[in-house]
Amino acid sequence: MPTSEAAHALAIFGLTFVLEDIAVLGAALLVANGMVSLPWAAGSAFAGLWLDDVGTYAIAYALGRPVLERRWFRRLMGNIDLHRSEAWFENHGTLAISLSRAVPGTRVPTYLAAGFLKVPVWRFLMITAIACAAWVAGLFFLSYHVGMMAISGFNMFRTKLTKLVACAAVAVLLGWILKKILRKYSRGWLPKPNNT
């Protein structure tokens, strides 16, 4: 069993870099079906999400301001007032970084901006660790309870492979529904930059 759990945990960890919310939802369904223990599933899901966040930030942090001042970047993005952007991040960055985990389409741009604008590393690590832990806990709660309701249906699948396929299908469906709901209701959560 430990080898199987480690393999599942490694798969969950890897999938978070491709389909992060679906990987987390699927991990909870695996727990509900007794295919992996909660610590392995939640730990690998958290680690994958957080390392992806840190990697996105680190790339922008390493590239730094020179990229923002390049002619091709200015042509692509228009003129950016770096001092105003830094001031905005100073005032609203914690909230923006925290909420971008749940607002579809905002996480990568927010984390790249945090890196380019040199949000302190310790601050970014702390905020994203808390946000990832809360997000994993929320998705696990949702998916685990859905999984417990559906577990009798999963029992009709006798082999491990068919159970995995069923868990994956339910995770994709839950992920799609969640994204639709978040897109509809999350507008206006993030503070707007002052463009004046």
Q: Which pLDDT tens digit goes with each residue over 117-131?
A: 888 999 999 999 999
Q: At what angle do helices 20-32 and 160-185 cross, to 10 degrees?
A: 130
Looking at residue 37, its amino acid is S
pLDDT of residue 76: 62
Looking at per-residue pLDDT, the higher value among 43 and 3 belongs to 43
pLDDT of residue 124: 95
What average pLDDT does the chain have? Answer: 81
pLDDT of residue 81: 61
> How far is residue 65 CA from its own chain's centroid?
25
Across 18-63, where does the E strand assignment appear? none
Looking at per-residue pLDDT, the higher value among 137 and 153 belongs to 137
59 CB-near residues (< 8 Å, 6+ apart) = 112, 115
Q: For residues 79 and 27, what is the distance between their CA atoms, to the nearest angstrom?
A: 43
Q: For residues 178 and 6, what is the distance between their CA atoms, to the nearest angstrom?
A: 28
**Segment 153-164 mean pLDDT:** 67
From residue 105, how far is each of 50, 70, 183 by CA, in Å?
A: 17, 25, 9
Report the Cα–Cα distance between both ends of the chain, in Å, rounded: 60
> pLDDT at residue 134 above 50?
yes
> pLDDT at residue 1 above 50?
no
Contact 124, 114 (CB under 8 A): yes
Which of 15-24, 70-79, 152-161 has the largest mean confidence?
15-24
Looking at per-residue pLDDT, the higher value among 177 and 193 belongs to 177
With a threshold of 0.75, does the pTM exceed it? yes
pLDDT of residue 182: 76
100 CB-near residues (< 8 Å, 6+ apart) = 106, 107, 110, 111, 190
